Chains A and B, each alone.
Chain A
Amino acid sequence: MPANRFNGFTDYGIGIGLRAPHYHHILTRKPVCDWFEIISENFMIDGGRPLRVLDSILEQYKVVQHGVSMYFGSAEKPNREHLRRLKELVKRTKTPWVSDHLCWGSVDGRYTHDLLPMPYTFEAARLTAQKVREVRDFLEVPVAVENVSSYAEFHVSEMSEWEFLNEVVERADCGILLDVNNIYVSSQNHSFDPFTYVNSVPAERVAQIHIAGHSKYRKYILDTHDHPVIDPVWKLYQRAIQRVGHTATLLEWDDSIPSFQEVHNEALKANRFLSSTLLATAV
């Protein structure tokens, strides 16, 4: 939905990830860009250049925080130091919502720094939802969970990935960061119809959409964020937009990063679909 309680009733357009190779261009040229997404962990520090750059960006642009290591699905309590630093950053950026992944990545206090796939069980859904609630209550901002790309499935799973996502967000009463590239990657790796996934997501909970590129290998696809968005992913995006409306959209490009203009132009291709949705709404 364009503006809902899961994205702080904002109506953001098309953004890109704020990445170090673009700092100079953004600060000196001040290009028009609807908003930037930051990786929270890169700025959960005590001082120095990253925070100085962030403050300059905040003076001129809208910024939303996206995390990579909250690990809502890890079967352990949230790390208090992580939460404290994240809340400090939330106060600084005034982000309307925060997002992180529906995955796990740490156990017994040891971090893998990866987005590991969830077993789709009711136990996991219950524990994950509880953690999402705890984090949201502590941060006092809406939380959206993002579906991840995965390369493995578990014997213990009791439902499909989209059923698991629905189970978690209903129990946690939280938003969804719908990553259509991740849906595509997982659909190829696990042989399911990606449109079934997109059609099953509760549209009213979608706070934001991610688009990205990936790398194809002989037997599987890896979510590498180092290529333009491919047509099948744009088709999924189109379908998602038809269902959820004009929603904050962000292009992720994290490796072999081209110029700011190239990344931004790739992101702006989303306008083709967003404008048609606006027209349809107007009619």
Chain B
Amino acid sequence: MKLLKLQRTMARAVMQPLTPSERMQRKAPDGKSMREYAGRFIKPNDRLTSFERLEIYNRQYWLRLFSSMIEDFPGLRSVLGGRRFDAMCKAYLVDCPSKSFTLRNLGSQLESWLGKHPQWAGSRQALALDIVRLEWAEIEAFDGKAEVALRPEDLNTLDSSSLRLELQPYIRLLSLHYPVDDLLLEVRKDDTDTDFASNTFQERRKRKRVQAVAKLKPADIFLAVHRFDDSVYFRRIEPEEFSILSGLRKGKPLDQAIETALRKTSIPLEERPAAVQGWFQNWAALGWFCKPDKKAAIP
């Protein structure tokens, strides 16, 4: 058997989902017996059959990918529940196997995939999509690129009429239908305590988490997922802030971005200049803008 053929044959078996009891399936990818399939290319030894040797890799594959998904999407797991989350991951990973050299990107297709497969979240689809968007945004904000930041004092020197301010590449802007930032922080708080916890304690935590999900009511929120001192934060922003920042991200000139954002605002006319100025001061203080022209990457 040539190298490429052998690798395709083995990969098909390794990437085939496990049974509910976490064993290798009896049926091979070609529909025949897995014992016969494994025996075609793997030698048995005095302790393990070809099937059992292949099964070690099959189980390692799924355990590794599952633990990566659990680590990256604890919020979605609490929305769906452990069992449903596991089943969903299996279906997702069959449809969207990793195409990246790093596990960091394993969940990159999850939002769009989940959107096309509403059966996994059922009546909680909107909530599930919101939490996935937040969790993926957090991953991207954690290690996204940062440019040299514009300082608050630089704002006064800029001519706003045709200026195009660029947002830091690591910032993610989200318009959501549920306050999933609160939910995720709640889930995280629980997880930090569970390492040494008893079963009873963990059960109580689980119940609490289920309650937190159940009582979460829809509420439109706008978030900027950003980084400060290398830690990721979820910052709630006003709809007008979201609109300005989104406009800037799309490359709109500053004046146009502001004008569009304030078109339907309920902020009284006389308060608008101060509000806009305050937002920009805050954003600049948080380092959200790249210094115009003289961009240079920093770690």
| A156-B299 contact, Cβ under 8 Å, with A41-B102, A44-B102 | no
Interface set, chain A 206-220, CB cutoff 8 A to B:
219-220
- Name B10's closest neighbour in chain A (CB-CB): A116
Contacts of A51 in B (CB 8 A): 143, 299
Contacts of B61 in A (CB 8 A): 112-114
As a 0/1 sequence over residues 42 to 72 of chain A, the CB contacts with chain B under 8 angstroms (1 = contact) are 0011111111100100000000000001100
B14 interface residue per 8 A CB criterion: yes
* CB < 8 Å neighbour of A52 from B7, B11, B15, B230: B230
B239 interface residue per 8 A CB criterion: no
Q: Quick check: B43 and A110 within 8 Å, CB to CB?
A: no
Q: Quick check: A151 and B57 within 8 Å, CB to CB?
A: yes
Q: Quick check: B8 and A107 within 8 Å, CB to CB?
A: yes
Q: What is the CA–CA distance of A109 and B52 in the complex, to the nearest angstrom?
A: 26
Interface set, chain B 56-110, CB cutoff 8 A to A:
56-57, 60-61, 64-65, 68, 97-104
A138 interface residue per 8 A CB criterion: no
Q: Quick check: B6 and A156 within 8 Å, CB to CB?
A: yes
The smallest C-beta distance from B34 to any residue of chain A, in angstroms, reads 14
Q: Quick check: A79 and B7 within 8 Å, CB to CB?
A: no
| A111-B98 contact, Cβ under 8 Å, with A48-B227, A48-B230, A123-B2 | yes
Question: How many A residues touch B, CB cutoff 8 Å?
Answer: 47
Q: What is the CA–CA distance of A141 and B100 in the complex, to the nearest angstrom?
A: 24
| A153-B42 contact, Cβ under 8 Å, with A45-B143, A46-B143 | yes
B35 interface residue per 8 A CB criterion: no
The smallest C-beta distance from B183 to any residue of chain A, in angstroms, reads 24
Q: Quick check: B101 and A114 within 8 Å, CB to CB?
A: no
| A155-B7 contact, Cβ under 8 Å, with A48-B227, A112-B15, A114-B64 | no
Interface set, chain A 127-184, CB cutoff 8 A to B:
127, 151-156
* CB < 8 Å neighbour of B43 from A74, A76, A153: A153
Q: Quick check: A121 and B3 within 8 Å, CB to CB?
A: yes
* CB < 8 Å neighbour of A111 from B45, B100, B169, B230: B100
Q: What is the CA–CA distance of A111 and B99 in the complex, to the nearest angstrom?
A: 6
Contacts of B298 in A (CB 8 A): 47
* CB < 8 Å neighbour of A112 from B14, B41, B45, B142: B14
Interface set, chain B 116-174, CB cutoff 8 A to A:
142-146, 169-170
The smallest C-beta distance from B59 to any residue of chain A, in angstroms, reads 10
Q: Quick check: B43 and A155 within 8 Å, CB to CB?
A: yes
Q: What is the CA–CA distance of A156 and B2 in the complex, to the nearest angstrom?
A: 9
The smallest C-beta distance from A5 to any residue of chain B, in angstroms, reads 27
Q: Quick check: B299 and A220 within 8 Å, CB to CB?
A: no
Interface set, chain B 25-65, CB cutoff 8 A to A:
40-43, 45-48, 50, 52-54, 56-57, 60-61, 64-65
The smallest C-beta distance from B165 to any residue of chain A, in angstroms, reads 19
- Name A217's closest neighbour in chain B (CB-CB): B56
28 A-B Cβ contacts within 8 A? A41-B101, A41-B102, A47-B170, A47-B298, A48-B299, A50-B143, A69-B101, A75-B3, A75-B4, A107-B8, A110-B11, A110-B15, A111-B97, A111-B101, A112-B98, A113-B98, A113-B103, A114-B57, A116-B57, A121-B3, A151-B57, A152-B42, A152-B50, A152-B53, A154-B42, A155-B41, A220-B48, A220-B56
Chain A residues with CB under 8 Å of chain B are 41, 44-52, 55, 69-70, 74-76, 79, 81-82, 104, 106-114, 116, 119, 121, 123-124, 127, 151-156, 189-191, 219-220, 222
